[in-house]
Amino acid sequence: MGGWGRAALGAVVIAVVSACGPVPATVVDDSATVAATSTTRAPRIVDDSGRPDIAFDPCLDLPDDVMTAAGYDAAHKKFADMPMGSYTFLGCEYNKHDLVPGVRRGYGLNVLSGNVSLDEELEKNADVAIPTTVNGRSALREVDPTTTDTCRYVLETDFGIVIFSRLHYKDHPGPSAQSEWCAGMEHFVFSVEPFIRN
């Protein structure tokens, strides 16, 4: 089933799934690389929903050196924001090129920081969401068989949620094993969780 954000990483497109269907993302900047900072800043986008401002900006608050060390191409990350009026997501796209012949060509990763609640996310994706914790933070692990090759972790924050959605680029014809979709993802999410501002 649909979530707040769904990655179509092969085409470098993000769509937001709402009750009315998919809505294309608004790409604010598709080339900027900005160093992370620890100072408090005004969010790049606010909405008129009365929901909290988003305090964690994935493209600005995940350090480039940390993402590079995890194998993601931080030099070519892309802003992919979704101002929806009744809620907002600040997004960042990354690619990881780690070919394993016959298994995968790499991964695409979308990190979405939004001002919807974990309860709303659970209600929307209850059929695929498994409650868990990440470094003590309430979270969901989502593997939707209808969203082939995708693994998502959704972490609760004071302002809403942060979604780590990874697409497995297979290196063979036919379907990939569902066991491959989340391989290594838990370790990665645990390693970057401390950078999330509440």
Burial of 138 (0-12, 13-18, 19+ CB in 10 A): middle
Q: Evaluate if residue 178 carries a pLDDT over 60.
A: yes
Separation CA 158–CA 45 (nearest Å): 17
What the block records as the tokens of 189 is: 């999410």
Total domains in the fold of the chain: 1
CB 59 within 8 A of CB 37: no
pLDDT (tens digit, 9 = 90+) per residue, 22-58? Answer: 333 333 343 343 444 445 667 777 777 788 989 999 9
Provide the residue type at 126 as one letter: A
What the block records as the tokens of 27 is: 């790409």
Q: Tell me the β-bridge partners of 163.
A: 112, 154
- Name the helix (H) or strand (E) containing 59: helix 58-61
Cα angle vertex 87, ends 187, 18, to 5°? 85
pTM value? 0.77
Structural domain boundaries, residue 133: 5-195
Name the more confident of 88 and 175: 88
pLDDT (tens digit, 9 = 90+) per residue, 113-157? Answer: 999 999 999 999 999 999 999 999 999 999 999 888 999 999 999
